[in-house]
Amino acid sequence: MNDIKNTDCLIRTENISKFFEQKTGLFNSKKEIVRAVENINIHILKGETVGLVGESGCGKTTLGRTILRLIDPTNGNIFFDGNNITSISGKELRKLRRNMQIIFQDPYSSLNPRFKVKHIIAEGLYNFKNELKLDNISIDKIVSEILEKTGLSKDASTKYPHQFSGGQRQRIGIGRAIALNPKFIVCDEPLSALDVSIKSQILNLLHELKKEYKLSYLFISHDLKITASISDRIYIMYLGRIIEELPSSQLFKNPFHPYTKALISAVPEIDSDKRRKRILLEGDVPSPVSIPSGCPFHPRCLKAMEICKSKTPKYLKKGDNHFVACWLYDQNSDSRHKTQDSSKS
Ligand code: SF4
Question: How many angstroms does the Cα of residue 287 sit away from the middle of ligand 1?
Answer: 18
Which atom of ligand 1 lies at the shortest distance from residue 329's CA? 3
Q: Please give the Cα distance from 244 to 54 (Å, whole number).
A: 11
Question: How many angstroms does the Cα of residue 312 sit away from the middle of ligand 1?
Answer: 9
Q: Output the pLDDT for position 4.
A: 64
- Over residues 6-47, the pLDDT tens digits come to 679 999 999 999 999 998 888 888 899 999 999 999 999 999
Q: Output the pLDDT for position 267.
A: 85
Inside any domain, residue 154: no
Inside any domain, residue 269: no
Per DSSP, the residues of 247-303 read EGGGTTT---SHHHHHHHHTS--SSGGGPPPP-PPPSPPPPTTSPPSSSTTTTT-TT
Which atom of ligand 1 lies at the shortest distance from residue 296's CA? 4
Inside any domain, residue 45: yes
Number of domains in the chain: 1
Largest CA distance in the chain: 73
Which atom of ligand 1 lies at the shortest distance from residue 301's CA? 1
Question: How many angstroms does the Cα of residue 228 sit away from the middle of ligand 1?
Answer: 24
Q: Output the pLDDT for position 333.
A: 63
Q: Output the pLDDT for position 158.
A: 96
Closest CA to 243 of 74, 32, 49, 55: 55
Question: How many angstroms does the Cα of residue 326 sit away from the middle of ligand 1?
Answer: 5
Q: Please give the Cα distance from 185 to 174 (Å, whole number).
A: 10
The pick from 295, 310, 332, 342 for probing ligand 1's pocket by mutation, whose C-beta has the most ligand atoms within 8 angstroms, reads 295
Q: Output the pLDDT for position 336.
A: 39
Inside any domain, residue 127: no
| pLDDT, mean of residues 107-131 | 94
Inside any domain, residue 92: yes
pLDDT at 139 over 80: yes
- Over residues 219-241, the pLDDT tens digits come to 999 999 999 999 999 999 999 99
What residue numbers bound the domain in which 46 lies? Answer: 9-24+35-99+180-250+315-328
Inside any domain, residue 273: no
pLDDT at 337 over 70: no
The residue contributing the CA closest to ligand 1 atom 3 is 326
Helix (H, G, I), strand (E, B) or coil at 30: strand
Binding pocket residue ranges, ligand 1, CB within 6 Å: 257-258, 295, 297-298, 301, 303-305, 308, 313, 326-328
The residue contributing the CA closest to ligand 1 atom 8 is 304
* Percent with pLDDT over 90 in the chain: 79
Q: Between residues 338 and 158, which one has the greater pLDDT? A: 158
CATH of the domain at 223: 3.40.50.300
Q: Output the pLDDT for position 99.
A: 96
For residue 145, which phi and psi values (nearest 5 degrees)? -65, -40
The residue contributing the CA closest to ligand 1 atom 5 is 326
- Over residues 157-185, the pLDDT tens digits come to 999 999 999 999 999 999 999 999 999 99
Inside any domain, residue 79: yes
Question: How many angstroms does the Cα of residue 330 sit away from the middle of ligand 1?
Answer: 11
Question: How many angstroms does the Cα of residue 250 sit away from the middle of ligand 1?
Answer: 20
For the chain, give the mean pLDDT: 91
Q: Output the pLDDT for position 25.
A: 83
Inside any domain, residue 196: yes
- Over residues 69-111, the pLDDT tens digits come to 999 999 999 999 999 999 999 999 999 999 999 999 888 889 9
Number of H helices, E strands in the chain: 9, 13
Question: How many angstroms does the Cα of residue 160 sit away from the middle of ligand 1?
Answer: 51
Q: Please give the Cα distance from 198 to 314 (Å, whole number).
A: 41
Closest CA to 313 of 234, 257, 255: 257
- Over residues 274-306, the pLDDT tens digits come to 677 788 787 788 899 999 999 999 999 999 999
